[in-house]
Amino acid sequence: MAASYRARQSALREELLAAFGADAGILGGAAGLHLTLLLPEGPRDTEIVHHAAELGVTARALSEYYAPEMPALARNGLVLGYGMVEERRIPELVGRLRLAYQNAIDAAHKMPAQ
């Protein structure tokens, strides 16, 4: 089973790097069954999570793991589990995640100025 999880993690890392480029950092993997994708400046992680859910992809907003009394410390990113996904589906799901990211960018540009 450990070999299967290593293969999924490797596939996820590779696909995230291809989809989001070097500007997005990837953390984790030494323990657990998730990776953290640190996002460059752009849409808020909570908005990306919303758009990802619309496309059938589950992700958690990294900013929600920070103490609410310290919002300045919160990082923009996504916590992505790989324990329950088949390795062969990872490219498709990361593709949808990238689309969710773009949809969040597009939605932000459509918002009226305040």
Predicted confidence (pLDDT) per residue in 17-42, tens digit: 999 998 889 999 998 999 999 998 88
Supply the CATH classification number for the domain 2-110.
Answer: 3.90.1150.10
d(CA 26, CA 36) in angstroms, rounded, equals: 6
- Integer Rg of the chain from CA: 14
Residue 82, pLDDT above cutoff 60: yes
Q: Where are the domains of the chain?
A: 2-110
pTM for this one?
0.89
Average pLDDT over residues 34-58: 95
